[in-house]
Chain A
Amino acid sequence: MSEPRPFELRAGMQLMQRLLLCDTDVESFRRALEETVTQAPGMFQGALVALDLAPLQETEALPDFVALDAALREAGIIPAGISNAGPTQAEAAQTAGWKLLGGQRERAVEEAPKPESDRTPVRVVSQPVRSGQQIHTLGDLILLAPVSAGAEVLAGGSIYVHAPLRGRALAGILGDDTATISCAVLHAELVSVAGHYRTLEEPEAGQRGGPAYIHLDGEQLRIETV
């Protein structure tokens, strides 16, 4: 293939794919997207995708965010938001309804805190999450009933289970390494924060059966009993 591809695809953490946007031409974007999706349809149907603007860093080129959003959705992809945008890009993206996922450059330190409505809403689930079911959300996830063995809960933010956690819990799936998992009773099959996961096959003394708090300490996933 002679023509340079308008984007590169990189595997992201867990369920999230990252599209590195290398060119602002929406038409070639659309064509290349179609091609990629045809090659691996299973990988993209309903996939969450973050649009990473890092390759446009030099030029601060301004793509048509409305058209990009439409192109992704047409291809069956759910645009989760953008990352590594410059200030003008971030503003344009937000106007077009995109979420900012982090890594934005040159955000003034003394900038006023984001208004409440900008925060990804917390999802609260009061029904048990049964075996075979999956619950996911981009923000924080609060669970008021047990997560069964064979069930999976995923959040862009933190996960709070005010009941026994017997299935899999993955926090910070968009890469937020400050995300945490808390649960009333730890019997999880697997826990993960920002892609650092741990299976809990063998009962480890003091780590199972009680309230627990799970967080990342550098590269190390720590399970603290409460």
Chain B
Amino acid sequence: MTSGKGGVGKTTTSAAFATGLALRGHKTVVIDFDVGLRNLDLIMGCERRVVYDFINLVQGEANLNQTLIKDRRVEGLYILPASQTRDKDALTREGVGQVIDELKAADFEYIVCDSPAGIESGAQMAMYYADEAVVVTNPEVSSVRDSDRMLGIIASKSRRAEQGDEPVKEHLLITRYAPARVSDGDMLSVDDIVELVGIGLLGVIPESESVLQASNAGQPVILDEKDPAGQAYSDVVARFLGEQVPLRFVEAVPKGLLKRLFG
């Protein structure tokens, strides 16, 4: 889960996406690559259960069993938290590669990497071993531009690019979408963004207040089946797994209808 620009919803997406994969029976681990900031464990509601972290694991100070946190709500879901105290240079490419190999050997079907913001070493570390990349983008010009940059870096600096393998499969995920603001011309539309970025659209997550409530409560928003953002994340996981699911929450609710419902 990558973006270039900060604060667009990578960690929210990583938590929801990993939870969604596990809910569908796939053994999944979500890794926090944001060394020094540690956000994912809060959103996953396991911050008080962190003993060892990703860097301890990379440096061989703890083993996989000691480090992985098993989610209490969803079977088959594990969290690999980042270190809050360590220097981000402690992550080495070889070390990360070893951990990923170990996770594969431990039968994880999906390894979700929550990238830090930026296009520098931290973000490059998070995308280096990727087979697929979800580029999280908000409907604004600067976010689209940064996503485009990140796509260039994935296409040239990932391991797949370096080894001349099949390229990393790229997916576009638009988050914090507010259809009413798109109609008002304040935000880019889905079509605009798809045209500019030119990769396949995995989904559109609407702007929703319950995202913040959910992260304060340490509950991935996908577990909220009534919330539009939660439902949109479920659709995203289904599409990622190959199902045909129509886009929802991309049209502004007509003003008349709102009036009839709430007026």
Q: CB within 8 Å of B: which residues of A?
A: 127-133, 145-146, 148-151, 166
Contacts and interface: CB of A to CB of B under 8 A. Distances in A.
B104 to A, nearest CB: 28
B152 A131 contact: yes
Nearest to A148: B148
Interface of B: 119, 145-146, 148-149, 151-153, 155-156, 196, 198
B152 A145 contact: no
A130 B196 contact: no
Contacts of A151: 152
B198 A131 contact: no
B191 to A, nearest CB: 14
Contact of A128 (B119, B145, B153, B198): B198
11 contacts: A130-B151, A131-B152, A132-B119, A132-B153, A133-B152, A148-B148, A148-B152, A149-B196, A150-B145, A150-B149, A151-B152
A130 B155 CA distance: 9
A130 B146 CA distance: 10
A149 to B, nearest CB: 6
A132 B148 CA distance: 9
Nearest to B151: A130
A148 B148 CA distance: 8
A103 B145 CA distance: 41
A131 B148 contact: yes
Nearest to A149: B145
Given A128-B198, A148-B196, 8 more contacts: A128-B151, A131-B148, A132-B119, A132-B153, A148-B152, A149-B148, A150-B148, A151-B152
